Chain A
């Protein structure tokens, strides 16, 4: 067979074939990913993006909010202050405990990076909501603002001046310099005020569980922000809104109930959804019965000495452990009691202890301190006594206690009430200006510059505009 042909014919046919294929390169949207317009197309899918932020706080083992995790404020601040003793020899936590941090410490990096990841999730959400084709539930914006403020509050208290990231454009963000602590506080305050306006009251959205931000949650953090900022009147007024919300909150007099999901005292809790454990707080500090070595963390002698011998909290929230084969007992925080859990959906639903972030007791002590500073000693003593009596089981302080003694009492009360919770002690010592006085005797390697953590090395490497490093590193 002889075909009639000219070389140009098949060549032309060939080019035509290729030209017709250009549409071929246009892909469908990926099956395993969801494009942003779909996510912000309805309340249900947008809510899934909101909930992811709470999940992130509760589940990641390196998160700044992760209770006893290797990046958590609770551990980093607890070790840095005079609250926790570190009993093992692992270099990274040991450096924290000895106040001899290096900027490449992974605990620091975990804390910083996870907080900024939460901020990124919140910023993505804020941008997605703003671009949504139809208006979505305004509470979502409120939650995003609250969560962002929550992360910034801890970042600035741990690291000092930090870059203020408020969008998702990496071309801007990766060149940001650090902003002053004041600027950070302004952002936090503005975010919280807007969140309070947007968020609903009450806990109906999570079936009564106190695990999503609402108006009270934002107010509780705002009261703390005002306290740290020495805005005494506002701190007292904001705390009063919570103390007066008796339809939601009351102090638990049974100390075994404070950290349960049914706690009336809780304002905001993280639902324990990590694998094989209830709260990370419990999983980290409660030693196995068979352990032959000291527990990782135990309570410092200084903290234990701060307890009045009759204080009920000393018995209820502190346990002793003696390593197998040893003789020395170690005392460890036991606010959370349940170390492990199975992972069936039923078991997860049945978990009782929730990692408590904000609770009413703090609001009493915020108001006590604010009133003290504004000279209202009588009312301050009243607020202090609410905790002293109902939690400590101690006799009330005399209403006529002098200012210095009352101040001393509030400080001690905060130490014994909030140990192993969210770095209260560390931040308190710093804001009271007592870090040097207290820690130079309690910690042999203490130096003034240790009050601020260094900015993680990888951050300075990736964005030189973050220089200079905090002094001393």
Chain B
């Protein structure tokens, strides 16, 4: 009874927030964001589940067990390079996607967020790009040991939104830890799939003792963090009129439809109209952990939702449930671990990305709705930006997984284990395009696109481990095998010519149904692996791993490859001499590793010559068969040789820890879609390129428990990565398709660009260097442009005082990005950043933008087109993002114990609070036509019973 009352109160509170938040929305967040935008100090920011915030242990290295996938090691004896994020850091952040919670927190792990849309895409690069093929740089994801797809199954979520993200189906709060394996020592045991790093995601497990009910409620609000300064109506009209005056062209309804046919007295802030809503989010989670005799279990369920900043009813929601069981026999000889999980998410988004329209629609553009509230159509001059309200994109994904591991201790030294799992992942998408979303004069009928894709994969991995003392050391041997199969199936249908929009839910009523596509792949994979580890006197560690892999992605005779690595560590601080001389040096470790990993990230069946069929209404006299690809039966593994050395230091009982590492990865035998001239029929062929790409870099990690025993506790953690990347070798590059894309000795993101030379003071046009002296500037005058050195990292601060805990997380980044100071030809009928006002007007002007011109023609267009592809738009960008601020308050025990609550806390957290640095766009990391990452404020309530 004691527990039921507070639970009821919580549930009631939650219900109240749910019911009333919509009414409050327009007010609460606006006040908040306005204060923030004005640069005022935020009220507070906050924490979600501060589970173990009461007491911050100074964990010594030797107590932390690091998950290496097939085995675990004590952090102290670790020879490989691993970055780690735990539940504690993930839980503090009000985010829907695990990637966002990991961003900036791990050295060597570069995560870029492409869009602020819920469910939007990320890219993750672990120690740089190893492959010349852009989509072959994904790491291997393993959730509780089972491979998880690294790319989304969504077929149409893109809509210019930077893709989707498969990790969306995971609830970040179910995650106990994420370990990212980086060097050869850690990844070679994953053989052909370890080249780009391995992301091990481990879910939470049941408690070994006691029982605990944990309830977490949160309510949040998100908005677009800032608006871009674009031209006002007056400025826009002045720009257009000046353009016409410059050109001497007569205005007509074709070239000046905005000035002649639109109401020029209008003034609309399209950013507010199209991206100005407040997205509400909520999160309800409960988990119960306990044990029954020798069985520990954890049952967790959650429901989360997030709205959108677009007008209209668009939402993301996710429901997930998880059960983890582990059973041990009385002697602990036999052990069984089982994990079951199911997640469902649904993402409703507009079928268009309106961020571009919000920025480029002229402020005088016509009202989108007439007096009756109906959409206005002016077909030739105005794409009504609200037409999307009639359309819908609905993506539903379901994932179910089961993993089990049975281990049996054969003797004191030998253990046998079989683990396995099965995962089903399905995505259904539906895009609705009703007739009413189009100009009625087009006479379009309603259409629905349907797509379904499923992925099924299973895996069985038998393993043997043997541990034996040898001399004054310990020898550990692991032998294992892996059998995997993964199948995907994809179907897409188009149902069109509905006589009425109301029929669109039932495709049986479509006038025409046609199959847009069908795809089927089968991927099989076989491996044997081994690890031998010898630790001598607790100070000298040698670790060797090896793997032999077979993959069905390669043709006969090319399927098998061998991989392996060797790593060593010397814990010099434990040498008696040093221990005596520098007692305050608690940890001192030198480690190094070298090895070979591979990559088979290339499509299935690439070695076969095949045809594929098109059998729809739009065929020519029945079935039509097309060649699928240019086949190459001879391609094989890509190999990546990784070298790393590192120094780990701990001072004053590890209260201050410093870790420095240097790595060098050389990826050769590049398995790329080799770009071909169109005269080949296809623009690329799968091919092993005789090129070597090198990624090199420094990673530094500093962890400090600055104040431990005083009432105020303060800890600080900094990570920083400075990577470089270069194409080392490429025989025959001059005569290859890459001759104008890459240069030996330069980074892969080098570009050939025309060299901008300012504005001609006489003519007012952008000018560029005529490098070949031909008298005209063309693509032949492009010169190499080497982007600036990249570095990125983060700084985390945790301050605690009595029951209060405050976290501040800063992320910093420097790299060269494309930042166009214009959206379109200056003077053309498109809105522009206010920066275009610094334009050339008369002879002798020193300006940054060329003279206004009303349309893409002649010299104006030629100069502008060169400008957009010149080095003028590449800017070195540095910024610091205050990416998370959270504040949590642990309620005093005296107040909650009588209610039967063990611990309770309330918190407030703000994600993406501010960005410091010079950038002209909505966000320094996203393209100008993408929705920037949102600023979110979340209030949360957490209780343990």
Contact assessment for A32 and B261 in the assembled complex, using a CB-CB cutoff below 8 Å: no
Q: Given A5-B414, A33-B605, A292-B379, 17 more contacts at CB 8 Å?
A: A25-B526, A25-B550, A25-B559, A26-B556, A32-B518, A32-B521, A33-B612, A34-B612, A35-B611, A56-B626, A59-B618, A89-B255, A112-B678, A173-B677, A174-B676, A291-B380, A344-B512
Question: With A and B bound together, what is the CA distance between A290 and B444 in angstroms?
Answer: 15
Residues of chain B contacted by A290 (CB below 8 angstroms)? 379, 439, 441
Residues of chain B contacted by A104 (CB below 8 angstroms)? 779
Q: Does B151 contact A (CB under 8 A)?
A: no
Contact assessment for B610 and A35 in the assembled complex, using a CB-CB cutoff below 8 Å: yes
Residues of chain A contacted by B613 (CB below 8 angstroms)? 34, 48
Contact assessment for B628 and A33 in the assembled complex, using a CB-CB cutoff below 8 Å: yes
Contact assessment for A39 and B625 in the assembled complex, using a CB-CB cutoff below 8 Å: yes
Contact assessment for B254 and A294 in the assembled complex, using a CB-CB cutoff below 8 Å: yes
Residues of chain A contacted by B257 (CB below 8 angstroms)? 292-293
Closest A-B pairs by Cβ, 9 of them: A120-B681, A89-B855, A55-B620, A113-B678, A33-B610, A91-B856, A52-B624, A462-B677, A462-B737
Contact assessment for B441 and A5 in the assembled complex, using a CB-CB cutoff below 8 Å: no
A-B contact pairs, 9 of them (CB 8 A): A14-B462, A32-B612, A34-B612, A48-B613, A289-B441, A323-B253, A325-B261, A458-B678, A462-B678
Contact assessment for B865 and A48 in the assembled complex, using a CB-CB cutoff below 8 Å: no
Q: A120-B627, A340-B443, A343-B497 are in contact. Are A91 and B865 (CB under 8 A)?
A: yes
Contact assessment for B735 and A464 in the assembled complex, using a CB-CB cutoff below 8 Å: yes
Which chain A residues numbered 74 to 120 have a C-beta less than 8 Å away from chain B? 87-91, 94-95, 98, 100, 102-104, 109, 112-113, 116-117, 119-120
Q: Does A473 contact B (CB under 8 A)?
A: yes
Closest Cβ of chain A: how far from B455's Cβ, in Å? 15
Q: A7-B466, A463-B737 are in contact. Are A121 and B627 (CB under 8 A)?
A: yes
Binding site for A on B (CB under 8 A): 252-255, 257, 261, 378-381, 410-411, 413-414, 416, 439, 441-445, 462, 464, 466, 479, 481, 483, 496-497, 511-512, 518-522, 524-526, 528, 550-552, 556, 559, 604-605, 608-614, 617-628, 630, 675-683, 685, 734-735, 737, 739-741, 778-780, 828, 854-858, 861-862, 865
Contact assessment for B679 and A51 in the assembled complex, using a CB-CB cutoff below 8 Å: no
Q: Does A305 contact B (CB under 8 A)?
A: no
Residues of chain B contacted by A25 (CB below 8 angstroms)? 524-526, 550-552, 559
Question: With A and B bound together, what is the CA distance between A14 and B414 in angstroms?
Answer: 14
Contact assessment for B521 and A30 in the assembled complex, using a CB-CB cutoff below 8 Å: yes
By beta carbon, the residue of chain B nearest A342 is B497
Contact assessment for A21 and B483 in the assembled complex, using a CB-CB cutoff below 8 Å: yes
Contact assessment for B680 and A120 in the assembled complex, using a CB-CB cutoff below 8 Å: yes
Question: With A and B bound together, what is the CA distance between A31 and B608 in angstroms?
Answer: 13
Q: Does A288 contact B (CB under 8 A)?
A: yes
Residues of chain A contacted by B612 (CB below 8 angstroms)? 32-34
Contact assessment for B526 and A24 in the assembled complex, using a CB-CB cutoff below 8 Å: yes
Contact assessment for A88 and B254 in the assembled complex, using a CB-CB cutoff below 8 Å: yes
Chain A: residues with Cβ within 8 Å of the partner, total of 102
Q: Does A193 contact B (CB under 8 A)?
A: no
Question: With A and B bound together, what is the CA distance between A119 and B605 in angstroms?
Answer: 24
Residues of chain A contacted by B856 (CB below 8 angstroms)? 89-91, 94
By beta carbon, the residue of chain B nearest A112 is B678
Contact assessment for B380 and A293 in the assembled complex, using a CB-CB cutoff below 8 Å: yes
Question: With A and B bound together, what is the CA distance between A290 and B862 in angstroms?
Answer: 33
Binary interface profile of A, 44-74, with partner B (CB < 8 Å = 1, else 0)?
0100110110111011000000000000000
Q: A36-B610, A55-B620, A459-B678 are in contact. Are A14 and B253 (CB under 8 A)?
A: no
Residues of chain A contacted by B552 (CB below 8 angstroms)? 25-27
Residues of chain B contacted by A10 (CB below 8 angstroms)? 410, 414, 416, 464
Contact assessment for B618 and A163 in the assembled complex, using a CB-CB cutoff below 8 Å: no
By beta carbon, the residue of chain A nearest B442 is A288
Q: Does A405 contact B (CB under 8 A)?
A: no
Contact assessment for B462 and A275 in the assembled complex, using a CB-CB cutoff below 8 Å: no
Q: A14-B464, A36-B611, A88-B254 are in contact. Are A173 and B679 (CB under 8 A)?
A: yes
Residues of chain A contacted by B865 (CB below 8 angstroms)? 91, 102
Binary interface profile of A, 364-377, with partner B (CB < 8 Å = 1, else 0)?
00000000000000
Contact assessment for B611 and A39 in the assembled complex, using a CB-CB cutoff below 8 Å: yes
Contacting residue for B605 out of A27, A55, A461, CB 8 A: A27
Contact assessment for A49 and B625 in the assembled complex, using a CB-CB cutoff below 8 Å: yes
Contact assessment for A58 and B620 in the assembled complex, using a CB-CB cutoff below 8 Å: yes
By beta carbon, the residue of chain A nearest B857 is A94
Question: With A and B bound together, what is the CA distance between A457 and B614 in angstroms?
Answer: 31
Residues of chain A contacted by B481 (CB below 8 angstroms)? 14, 17-18
Question: With A and B bound together, what is the CA distance between A124 and B629 in angstroms?
Answer: 11
Q: Does A3 contact B (CB under 8 A)?
A: yes
Contacting residue for B681 out of A168, A212, A345, CB 8 A: A168
Question: With A and B bound together, what is the CA distance between A94 and B857 in angstroms?
Answer: 7
Closest Cβ of chain B: how far from A85's Cβ, in Å? 11
Contact assessment for A462 and B676 in the assembled complex, using a CB-CB cutoff below 8 Å: yes
Contacting residue for B861 out of A31, A54, A94, CB 8 A: A94
Residues of chain A contacted by B441 (CB below 8 angstroms)? 288-290
Residues of chain B contacted by A211 (CB below 8 angstroms)? 620-621
Residues of chain A contacted by B520 (CB below 8 angstroms)? 30-32
By beta carbon, the residue of chain A nearest B380 is A293
Residues of chain A contacted by B618 (CB below 8 angstroms)? 55, 59, 273-275, 343, 348
Residues of chain B contacted by A466 (CB below 8 angstroms)? 677
Q: Does A408 contact B (CB under 8 A)?
A: no
Residues of chain A contacted by B617 (CB below 8 angstroms)? 273, 343-345, 348
Contact assessment for B681 and A34 in the assembled complex, using a CB-CB cutoff below 8 Å: no
Contacting residue for B620 out of A54, A102, A117, A456, CB 8 A: A54
Closest Cβ of chain B: how far from A57's Cβ, in Å? 9
Residues of chain A contacted by B381 (CB below 8 angstroms)? 292-293
Q: Does A165 contact B (CB under 8 A)?
A: yes
Residues of chain A contacted by B630 (CB below 8 angstroms)? 168, 170
Closest Cβ of chain B: how far from A29's Cβ, in Å? 8
Contact assessment for A462 and B254 in the assembled complex, using a CB-CB cutoff below 8 Å: no
Question: With A and B bound together, what is the CA distance between A17 and B865 in angstroms?
Answer: 62
Contact assessment for A163 and B735 in the assembled complex, using a CB-CB cutoff below 8 Å: no
Question: With A and B bound together, what is the CA distance between A103 and B676 in angstroms?
Answer: 17
Q: A174-B737, A294-B253, A459-B679 are in contact. Are A27 and B610 (CB under 8 A)?
A: no
Question: With A and B bound together, what is the CA distance between A85 and B253 in angstroms?
Answer: 16
Residues of chain B contacted by A176 (CB below 8 angstroms)? 679
Closest Cβ of chain A: how far from B470's Cβ, in Å? 14
Question: With A and B bound together, what is the CA distance between A121 and B620 in angstroms?
Answer: 15
Contact assessment for A165 and B483 in the assembled complex, using a CB-CB cutoff below 8 Å: no
Contact assessment for B511 and A344 in the assembled complex, using a CB-CB cutoff below 8 Å: yes
Question: With A and B bound together, what is the CA distance between A473 and B496 in angstroms?
Answer: 45
Contact assessment for B680 and A7 in the assembled complex, using a CB-CB cutoff below 8 Å: no
Question: With A and B bound together, what is the CA distance between A456 and B627 in angstroms?
Answer: 24
Question: With A and B bound together, what is the CA distance between A356 and B747 in angstroms?
Answer: 51
Q: Does A400 contact B (CB under 8 A)?
A: no
Closest Cβ of chain A: how far from B360's Cβ, in Å? 15
By beta carbon, the residue of chain B nearest A275 is B618
Question: With A and B bound together, what is the CA distance between A103 and B779 in angstroms?
Answer: 8
Residues of chain B contacted by A350 (CB below 8 angstroms)? none
Contact assessment for B624 and A55 in the assembled complex, using a CB-CB cutoff below 8 Å: yes
Contact assessment for B410 and A3 in the assembled complex, using a CB-CB cutoff below 8 Å: yes
Q: Does A431 contact B (CB under 8 A)?
A: no
Contact assessment for B524 and A87 in the assembled complex, using a CB-CB cutoff below 8 Å: no
Residues of chain B contacted by A26 (CB below 8 angstroms)? 552, 556
Binary interface profile of A, 439-473, with partner B (CB < 8 Å = 1, else 0)?
00000000000000000111101111110010001
Q: A33-B611, A52-B626, A343-B617 are in contact. Are A174 and B522 (CB under 8 A)?
A: no
Closest Cβ of chain B: how far from A345's Cβ, in Å? 5
Question: With A and B bound together, what is the CA distance between A42 and B544 in angstroms?
Answer: 56
Question: With A and B bound together, what is the CA distance between A458 and B876 in angstroms?
Answer: 28
Closest Cβ of chain B: how far from A2's Cβ, in Å? 9
Closest Cβ of chain B: how far from A147's Cβ, in Å? 12
Question: With A and B bound together, what is the CA distance between A364 and B628 in angstroms?
Answer: 42
Contact assessment for A174 and B734 in the assembled complex, using a CB-CB cutoff below 8 Å: no
Contact assessment for B677 and A463 in the assembled complex, using a CB-CB cutoff below 8 Å: yes
Contact assessment for A326 and B739 in the assembled complex, using a CB-CB cutoff below 8 Å: no
Residues of chain B contacted by A345 (CB below 8 angstroms)? 512, 617
Residues of chain A contacted by B551 (CB below 8 angstroms)? 25
